Structure 1
Amino acid sequence: MFIKIREKSIKLIKEDALLALLPEFHKKRPEILRNSQKGWAGYRGEKELDYHLTFLPDTFTIIPDLRIPINDTFFQIDTLILCPYFTLIIESKNIFGSLYFEPDSNQVIRTFNQQDDGFPNPILQAKRQMKQFKRWISANFNKEIPCYYMVSIGSPRTIVKGPRSIFQYVQHAEHIPDKVESLLKNETNPYITPYLLKKISSLLLKENTPLEFDALNYYQLNKEDLMRGITCSKCNQAILQRTHKYWRCSSCDFYSNEIHIKYIENYLNLFNTITTKDCESLIGISSRFTIRRILLDMGLKPNKQRPPPIQKTPRRLIRRVLPF
């Protein structure tokens, strides 16, 4: 049973917002696009695992995407499974091609399109996360609990090679539920009472701290790098003009009454707030009355401090991007 929904990372949300708002030929687009594609691949691999884990009995408590503080630092867990008999930490990877787990160097070699690339060994990552989690359990509950770790490979087309010993830790996502249930057969003594399991789960959710990401600072960008005006989504040739309550393209006659919403949402994903002046530049309207009506129609609430009027982001727009 999942007690938390897996969502896109703040980094991925902000990178996608940048890609939507940067001009097509901006020099930073290729780098941002590469990182976004990697982020999406990882997210899809995690969601693939989530799907297969739904077939586990409800006696298993599943918590995805945790980042927990410990000793002035943080440890991250892609997927944590709790039950009365053990805990299991799963590190998700979604790497295409052929993966070879090299035992001497403890490195993973990926072969794809006749090219070899080296990756950190995810088995070691999962093992390190297990040690940190056990330390966290000991510090908060003064208890020893059996803890296992595994690596999930998202794509069934990925070929995994290496010594036989690695396959007790590495499985494709579709086989993970079978491995979980086989662990259950090996553990006959319950270590966690239902009450303690609930306490552990509650504390994990309380201490979970998603990683913040300042996209503009990371990519050395500023507001002036963003596009001005709304580009036609049909012909990509012209900037749309606002006529009454509609946007119209003078090149292909495309029209829409809500295309501005996505632009403003992407801006809010990056900055969390928007002023009427910012919105004027973003969507290319000079009428502050129209801007204010658009923002209010989106459910954005004006800050009572003046000047300038600040619009705060409602949670429903960006979900988990910034807590406030």
Structure 2
Amino acid sequence: MILKNRAKPLPLRKLDAATPRLSPQFPGLPKMKEDAKMQQQGYNGEIKVDYFLDNLVPMYTILQDVYLRVNGKNFQIDSLIIANYSIIIVDSKNYKGTITFNTILNQLTRSDGKIESGYEYPITQVKNQKFHLQNWLKQHNLGHIPIKCFVAIADPSTVVQVEGDQEEIGKYVVHAAEVPERIMNTDRQFGNKGAKKHSDYQIGKVILKECGEFDINLFKRYGLRTTDILPGVICPDCGVRGMKRVYNGWQCGNCKCFSRNEHMKAIDDYLLLVKDSITNKACAWFLGNITRGTATRILKKSGLAYHQKHRCWRRE
């Protein structure tokens, strides 16, 4: 079963919320857009790999997007499969074109036919994840469980080349469609070698209890200030900020699109970017200087919880 489902990463949600609300002249905007593009590509790759890992759901316990802390350090794992005799780490990579693993220099390069770029070595990354997970399991009296790790290439059209030890790369790197079979074979081998069978569900519950959520501080990373976040309801069709409140909804002055509930996206943006709670006054301002009474009616229907002591609304 899937014990923890993958959601759109919080840093990506923040970037997607922030970039349409910044002035085109904001210095950090190009970097933010580039980072959002890269994070979206990584997230798309994880979803592609999930499609194949779903084949293991009837047999094993799966946790997606695991974020744990051990010895004062945080570490993240794209997919964690708790099988009958072992635990398998799957790190998803969504590269386009041709990638080359150099086992002598521990280096990865990618070529799209025009530009060659260097990347952090995926095998080093996944070995570090294994090291941290081993330490975490030891601290939770689960250190006896063997761990295997794989680098899953999400796009089937990606060409994998090797400079050096092909056999070494073959131990770790596999296209996504082959991952389930490799996991089943690996777990069977551990069982044949004498590894003890364990309750994958119970171990999954222990890990799930300790899982956090990876986040970044946009304001520190990109030099943002809260005053840089521009208010207004953004049109879902043309992307122009500043939809006007009309009877029973919102209308875009640019493309005339009508939406009944687009204010909910704006409120979510506020809670993501500005503050984790919102007052009636702040809501009225952020939605485009609507009346306080209209803001109050919107918040009452928003699903947010009202906190009388602080006179604000927030997620439960």
Structure 2 length as normaliser, TM-score?
0.89
Deviation at 1:115, TM superposition (A): 1.1
Aligned to 2:315: 313
Deviation at 1:106, TM superposition (A): 0.2
What is the CA-CA distance between 1:211 and the residue it aligns to? Answer: 2.1
User: Who is 1:226 aligned against?
Assistant: 229
- Cα distance between partner residues in 1 of 2:39 and 2:240: 30
The structure 1 residue matched to 2:183, chosen from 180, 185, 190, is 180
Residue ranges of structure 2 left out of the alignment (5+ in a row): none
**Amino acid in structure 1 at the alignment position of 2:198:** T
Structure 1 window deviating more from structure 2 (260-269 vs 224-233): it is: 224-233
| Counterpart selection for 2:196 from 178, 183, 191 | 191
Aligned-residue RMSD, C-alpha: 2.2
Superposed CA deviations along residues 112-138 of structure 1, whole A, max 9, x for unmatched, are 241111111111111121122222222
Greater shift in the superposed pair: 177-186 or 93-102 = 177-186
> Would the aligned equivalents of 1:285 and 1:291 in 2 still touch at CA under 8 Å?
no
Match of 1:278 in 2: 282
Q: CA deviation at 1:199?
A: 3.6
Q: Distance in 1 between matches of 2:76 and 2:237?
A: 41
Q: 1:138 to 1:280 in 2, by over 3 A?
A: same
Distance in 1 between the 2:206 and 2:22 partners? 40
Structure 1 residues 74-83 or 4-13, which shifts more?
74-83
What residue in structure 2 maps to residue 93 of structure 1?
93
Deviation sequence 1:258-315 (CA, Å, 0-9, x none): 2222111222222321222322322212411111111112122322125xx321124x
| Amino acid of the structure 2 residue aligned with 1:310 | C
Aligned mates of 1:44, 1:15 — CA distance in 2 = 16
Partners of 1:301 and 1:312 within 8 A in 2:
yes
Which consecutive unaligned segments of at least 5 residues does structure 1 have? 315-324
- Structure 1 residues 203 and 250, CA gap change in structure 2 (3 angstroms): closer
Whole-angstrom CA distance in 2 between matches of 1:229 and 1:37: 24
Match of 1:212 in 2: 215
1:160-179 equivalences in 2 (<5 Å): 160-162=160-162, 163-165=165-167, 166-179=169-182
1:235: Cα distance to partner? 5.5
| 1:199-245 deviation per Cα after TM superposition (whole angstroms, max 9, x unaligned) | 42222111112123222332221232122333545556684332343
1:311 counterpart SS class: strand
CA offset digits 1:18-66 (Å, max 9, x no partner) = 1243345544332111111111111111111111011126222211211
Deviates more, 1:26-35 or 1:43-52: 26-35
The equivalent of 1:290 in structure 2 is 294
Tell me if 1:148 matches 2:148.
Answer: yes
How far apart are the structure 2 equivalents of 1:53 and 1:100? 25
Q: Take 2:41 and 2:238, find their aligned partners in 1: how far apart are those partners? A: 29
Distance 1:36 1:142, change over 3 A: closer
Aligned residues: 310
Counterpart of 1:276, as a letter, is N
> 1:262–1:205: structure 2 CA closer, same or farther, 3 Å change rule?
same
SS in 2 for 1:110: strand
Question: Which 4+ residue blocks in structure 1 deviate beyond 6 angstroms?
Answer: none
Relative distance call for 1:273 and 1:161 in structure 2 (3 A) is: same
% of aligned pairs identical?
Answer: 29
Superposed displacement of residue 108, structure 1: 0.3
Instruction: Identify if the C-alpha distance between structure 1 residues 205 and 220 changes in structure 2 by more than 3 Å, giving closer, same or farther.
Output: same
Distance 2:73 2:11 in 1: 19
Distance change (3 Å), C-alpha of 1:118 and 1:219: same
User: In the aligned structure 2, how far is the partner of 1:82 from the partner of 1:65?
Assistant: 14
User: Any conservation in 1 of the 2:79–2:90 contact (CA below 8 Å)?
Assistant: yes
Change (3 A) 1:237 1:111: closer
Which deviations, in whole Å up to 9, do the C-alpha atoms of 1:50-91 show, x marking residues without a partner?
A: 110111262222112112121121222211111222221111
Secondary structure of the 1:167 match is: helix
Moved more, 165-174 or 143-152: 143-152
1:33 corresponding residue in structure 2: 33
Q: Which residue matches 2:48?
A: 48
Instruction: Return the letter of the residue paired with 2:86.
Output: F
Instruction: Out of 231-240 and 254-263, give the one that drifted further.
Output: 231-240
